[in-house]
């Protein structure tokens, strides 16, 4: 990475830390700690791979990349919409007052996190590398840890209703995982 990329990484990292503190940790939602590592790994993947974004557009890894990147938009848009409309958030969007079990949430508990996994993998496939593989794995691991921690918080918040919901749905991929 060059000096500009390192400066950008530093600025965004500090910003992510501040946001994580103000939005999640200060409110007692500790899943934000793990989510920080997902955002950070995605940021580093972008900085490492931005030069290759449009190289060899019809190669197998670029096609997979674009499918993953485009696919990441759908669960993000649907997830945010449902949290806002159905979840009736009190303040921040993730502070829902109602458990959302319709739309994408009917099939998976974490469409927003699934979106971040797809996004990270899509960026990884732009230019395959060893460090990229590590960062993609960090992203997936951080999202699994985030989801598990958040599920404990949701059981505390919604009780047996959320525990039953966990039995009915998968974490990220319908009918699989």
Q: Is the pTM of this model over 0.75?
A: yes
CB 68 within 8 A of CB 60: no
Cα distances from 118 to residues 51, 88, 104, 128, 172, in angstroms, run 20, 27, 15, 15, 10
The span from the CA of 103 to the CA of 101, in Å, is 7
Residue range 109-135: average pLDDT? Answer: 97
The span from the CA of 106 to the CA of 12, in Å, is 34
Question: Each residue of 54-107: pLDDT tens digit?
Answer: 999 999 999 999 999 999 999 999 999 999 999 998 877 778 899 999 999 999
Which DSSP letter does residue 160 get?
H
Question: Each residue of 13-68: pLDDT tens digit?
Answer: 888 778 777 776 666 666 778 888 999 999 999 999 999 999 999 999 999 999 99
Cα distances from 172 to residues 18, 74, 92, 108, in angstroms, run 27, 13, 23, 5
3-state secondary structure 80-118: HHHHHHCCCECCCCCCECCCCCCHHHHCECCHHHHHHHH
| Structural domain boundaries in the chain | 3-168
The span from the CA of 101 to the CA of 79, in Å, is 11
* Residue with more model confidence, 15 or 137: 137
The span from the CA of 129 to the CA of 159, in Å, is 43
- Conformational region of residue 159, where left means phi above 0, alpha means psi within -120 to 50, and beta covers everything else: left
* pLDDT for position 27: 64
CB 90 within 8 A of CB 146: no
């Amino acid at each position: 990475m060059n000096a500009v990329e390192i400066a950008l990484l530093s600025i965004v990292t500090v910003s992510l830390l501040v946001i994580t503190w103000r939005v999640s940790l200060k409110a007692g939602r500790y899943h934000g700690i793990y989510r920080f590592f997902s955002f950070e790994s995605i940021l580093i993947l972008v900085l490492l791979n931005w030069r290759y974004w449009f190289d060899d557009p019809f190669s197998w890894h670029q096609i997979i990349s674009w499918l993953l990147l485009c696919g990441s938009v759908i669960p993000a848009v649907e997830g945010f919409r449902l949290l806002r409309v159905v979840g009736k958030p009190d303040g921040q969007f993730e502070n829902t007052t109602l458990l959302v079990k319709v739309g994408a949430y009917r099939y998976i508990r974490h469409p927003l996190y699934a979106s971040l996994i797809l996004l990270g993998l899509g960026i990884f496939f732009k230019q395959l590398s060893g460090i990229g593989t590590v960062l993609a794995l960090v992203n997936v691991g951080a999202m699994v840890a985030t989801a598990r921690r958040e599920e404990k918080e949701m059981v505390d918040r919604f009780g047996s209703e959320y525990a039953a919901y966990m039995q009915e749905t998968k974490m990220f991929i319908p009918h699989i995982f």
